[in-house]
């Protein structure tokens, strides 16, 4: 089976960069996949696309060496299994608030006897290889999103879930849950403490720590703080910033 490069990068201590796709287009997905990210995540929770378009985006990502990841709309076993069958090599699952949530998520990603994933890998076989079934349980990456006050309170129990590969911080929802302003690189002491606690607990358990960031500079800050995987903004944010920069350059030339 095709190896999951993110596991090797984590073992080597190499910071992992993942792109984040909210625009429903296979062309932009292909551009992002060839830009140099180690992984590219299709956001099926807040992204502007349905399953058919997201499938084409996974196919576009597969033209590169970037690992295809998906964030499903919810911790829904049927949906998670469908994304894996479509060729996702890892799942970043939103709203994991309890150990039970984490266990259900991991079970949906693993074939029996360790999980409940139904057999029918379809495109997973094309991407992963003919021995997909034999290796999928060890290769597919499972990352639980901590983005609620309850999830933060249950952090240690969640991180200790067997089969869970790591945690991914959703800073905006976590900020809202803690009564803070949703800013990815918030300097609110409450958020600083919460994010540091998540990173420390995850690393202490020997698991992968990831976080969404508002920019490249924000992602660099999180790497310095010890995070293994960072997302330096999504495609829409980067497109908006690039357009604004171009318009500003032209406006300044005319002054």
pLDDT tens digits along 18-32: 999 999 999 999 999
Instruction: Look up residue 70 and give its two tokens.
Output: 């998906």
For residue 23, give the DSSP letter. B
Q: Buried b vs exposed e over 209-245: b needs ≥16 C-beta within 10 Å?
A: bbbbbbeeebbebbbeeebbbbbbbbbbebeeeeeee
* Interatomic CA distance for residues 65 and 153, integer angstroms: 37
Is 251's pLDDT higher than 80?
Answer: yes
pLDDT tens digits along 113-142: 999 999 999 999 999 999 999 999 999 999
Give the residue extent of every domain in the chain: 5-253
Q: 213: pLDDT confidence band, cut at 50, 70 and 90?
A: very high
* Interatomic CA distance for residues 70 and 47, integer angstroms: 11
Q: 61: pLDDT confidence band, cut at 50, 70 and 90?
A: very high
pLDDT tens digits along 151-160: 999 999 999 9
Q: What's the chain's average pLDDT?
A: 97
Distances (CA, A) of 232 to 39, 70, 89, 116, 241: 12, 16, 20, 34, 12
> Any idea which fold 5-253 has?
TIM Barrel (3.20.20)
Predicted pLDDT at 1: 96
Instruction: Look up residue 209 and give its two tokens.
Output: 């720590």
Q: 175: pLDDT confidence band, cut at 50, 70 and 90?
A: very high
Residues paired with 17 in a beta bridge? 230
* Interatomic CA distance for residues 101 and 134, integer angstroms: 26
**Catalytic residue of the set 36, 46, 65, 157:** 46
Is 99's pLDDT higher than 90?
Answer: yes
Q: Is 1 within 8 Å of 136 (Cβ atoms)?
A: yes
46 annotated active-site:
yes
Greatest Cα pair distance in the chain: 69
């Amino acid at each position: 089976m095709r190896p999951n490069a993110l596991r090797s990068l984590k073992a080597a201590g190499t910071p992992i960069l993942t792109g984040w796709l909210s625009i429903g287009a296979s062309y932009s997905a292909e551009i992002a996949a060839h830009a140099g990210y180690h992984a590219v995540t299709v956001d099926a929770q807040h992204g502007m696309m349905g399953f058919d378009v997201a499938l084409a985006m996974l196919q576009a990502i597969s033209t590169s060496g970037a690992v295809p990841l998906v964030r499903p709309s919810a911790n829904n076993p049927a949906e998670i299994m469908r994304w894996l069958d479509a060729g996702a090599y890892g799942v970043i699952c939103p709203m994991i608030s309890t150990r039970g949530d984490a266990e259900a998520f991991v079970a949906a990603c693993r074939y029996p006897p360790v999980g409940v994933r139904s057999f029918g890998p379809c495109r997973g076989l094309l991407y992963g290889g003919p021995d997909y079934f034999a290796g999928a349980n060890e290769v597919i990456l499972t990352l639980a999103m901590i983005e609620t006050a309850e999830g933060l309170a249950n952090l240690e129990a969640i991180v200790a879930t067997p089969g869970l590969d790591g945690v991914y911080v959703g800073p905006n929802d976590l900020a809202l849950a803690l009564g803070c302003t949703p800013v990815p690189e918030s300097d609110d002491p409450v958020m600083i403490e919460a994010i540091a606690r998540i990173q420390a607990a995850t690393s202490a358990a020997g698991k992968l720590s990831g976080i969404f960031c508002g920019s490249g500079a924000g992602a660099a800050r999180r790497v310095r703080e010890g995070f293994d995987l960072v997302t330096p903004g999504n495609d829409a944010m980067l497109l908006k910033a690039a357009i604004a920069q171009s318009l500003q350059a032209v406006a300044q030339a005319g002054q």
